[in-house]
Chain A
């Protein structure tokens, strides 16, 4: 680049700067406290309008009162002092959005925090946006493959659905979300993981795990760390929703994980209390339900006529001592289209994922489930339900009649087969053949503790010699009679090789 060129460019830029003066509305800081300021003046401020302070920090107007404005500060608030001037910007809080964010770790304002190059974009999306209406939507019809046997078979999730992951601390809630993200590799799905008030170490661990599995190529991580201000935690999920809407507007499918909304509610409670909004149940403000409902309503499956695309939301809620009837859990359960309920008792028994099949439901996902999976999952659900009823009798062993014992044996094998290691999602066709073998009784003569071993050997055998069966299931998504015949023969052959 020649010197003259640079000078020319500079001249152009200087001459191009708009310098005309306009009247602006200003206010003065009255008080500053814990991430929240009160400003007098600013008579025409809008709700959730961006405000700029003298030291360059940005705030968001939340409370509009007669002659005061209550605002939260995004980021550091040490530079803000009483009496300083505050200007309104005339625009609702928006963040830049771009494809370049894929594979990156950003903060809720769209700035890179992974030490790589800056993310620049001219496209701005507002943080708060009204969700798509009735006309634009259509009911879920395509599945999201989580790669987890128990979920794909019994609690299927569809694109555009909102499925809650709920459970105590340390029962593998995040693990399910991360496995789902890993399994989206090559499934034409952009994943957004929103970490709300999480430990930075946890975010770093998740990032390295996703990188190791090659899943960062389709993933964006939005992190509002535990050390960051509550305002960041508050806007993080909305930023995630804004970015997912950007991709949905291009007709793409997006999966967004909000981990977790309990911390989001805490952050909002903190801001509300400091703003002196009246506290309600559990000291949460009155609009805490709307806080989550307007966020999750933005998950949608959009009709092709309106551009297509979908946003699937997986919100996470952490319960205290298994109490799902607390305020925030009941709220979010009623908003979402079903929940995946994880239990610490099951987790400690070694059943991982620690899914409580009885309490977990998916209200809309079954219409999106692949035909092949539907064929095997019905029997599976029945087996498990019968097993749960009879489980208590299992210890009487030999005193039971033949049929009851068979049901218990089948149940034990089902529970064993549904165990799955973390970070090892399974393809749909693999799940189908394994579950078919189980539900048709081909595993009844395998010892319970050998089930997982049998499974992996069987899959190895199928992939080596019977790839065509797997391919047919993967392509058509169906389990036709001729495929069934071939599959049964393959299972028999495999059992021959074992002997």
Chain B
């Protein structure tokens, strides 16, 4: 029977749940060996992604990518953090800040496959579409 990356990740999560650091180390080593034996080593990277998803989900941690033209200062970051916390009712928020000059101004927040595009470039595009109608 084939084991999918998701099933691997779920198993790993359930094994390591509420265990000490030393124990986890052993479990992970055994887990990787098991995968190797089954010849599923190339699935490792997607198992890691799935594991992160499951972990974040269970602990209601939100990973958000924030794209701005000039980067965020600490005050802005705090505002964004509390906004996302409220919107997704999450316990904690991990922010990956990305600087991209093409957005020109404003802010783009991406959580999973949801995007909140408040950038100047997006508004300009909307305006263009409306004017050329």
Contact = CB atoms under 8 A, between A and B. Distances in A.
Interface of A: 10, 13-14, 16-19, 21-27, 40-43
The binding surface of chain B is classed by DSSP as mixed
Contact of B130 (A13, A25, A42): A13
B114 A25 contact: yes
Interface residues of B, number: 14
Contact of B126 (A19, A26, A40, A43): A19
Given A14-B131, A19-B127, A21-B117, 10 more contacts: A13-B131, A16-B130, A17-B130, A17-B131, A18-B126, A21-B122, A22-B116, A23-B116, A25-B115, A40-B113
Main secondary structure, interface of A, reads: mixed
Nearest to A66: B6
Contact of A41 (B113, B123, B126, B130): B113
A24 B115 contact: yes
B126 A23 contact: no
Interface in B78-116: 110, 112-116
A7 B60 CA distance: 52
Contacts of B112: 41, 43
Contacts of A23: 114-116
Contact of A21 (B116, B130, B131): B116
Contacts of A40: 113
The list of the 4 closest CB pairs from A to B, nearest first, reads A41-B113, A21-B118, A17-B130, A26-B115
Given A13-B131, A14-B131, A24 B114 contact: yes
Contacts of B116: 21-24
Contacts of B115: 23-26
Contacts of B130: 13, 16-17
Of A16, A21, A25, which is in contact with the most chain B CB atoms at under 10 Å from its CB?
A21
Nearest to A14: B127
B113 A26 contact: yes
Contacts of A16: 130
B18 to A, nearest CB: 27
B126 to A, nearest CB: 6
Which residue of B113, B122, B123, B130 has the most chain A CB atoms within 10 A of its CB atom? B113
Interface string B118-133: 1000110011001100
Nearest to A85: B115
